[in-house]
Amino acid sequence: MSPIGQTLVAKDEIAQGSPVGRLKRRADFLRVAGARRKWAAPGLILQVSPQPERNPAEPGPAFPIRVGFTASRKVGNAVMRNRARRRLKAIVAELVGRHAKPGHDLVLIARTATCDCPFEDLKRDLLQSLKRTKAAA
């Protein structure tokens, strides 16, 4: 990577706050759901869990905040579920790095209103959910 590209990445990380990783394994989603810290807003459901202690021998980078996304078939067909997940990813990219407390795993669950409600309402729902689950920085 060129020095220019490295500079851009570094500026983006500073502007966004903490780097955000992804939850991908089913066991991680179940662990977060088992913590029983959640808040349901009209546009989304947020589940929060403190991150487990990380094994230093485990491969891959350690992220202070990790986020998972899910949308069940209740949300709609595949097009609607993908649209809902894309909208959730967009608000996470914009807000979570700056407003979430490091050391937490977050799972955002799409609701039927996720596709239809205005983007500003989704952002407000996420910020309110972070505060209610005590995951706000």
Domain boundaries, given as residue ranges, for the chain: 21-132
The pLDDT of residue 90: 94
CATH class of 21-132: alpha beta
Confidence of residue 61 (pLDDT cuts 50, 70, 90): low
Res 30 pLDDT > 50:
yes
pTM: 0.80
3-state secondary structure 17-58: CCCEEECCCHHHHHHHHHCCEEEECCCEEEEEEECCCCCCCC
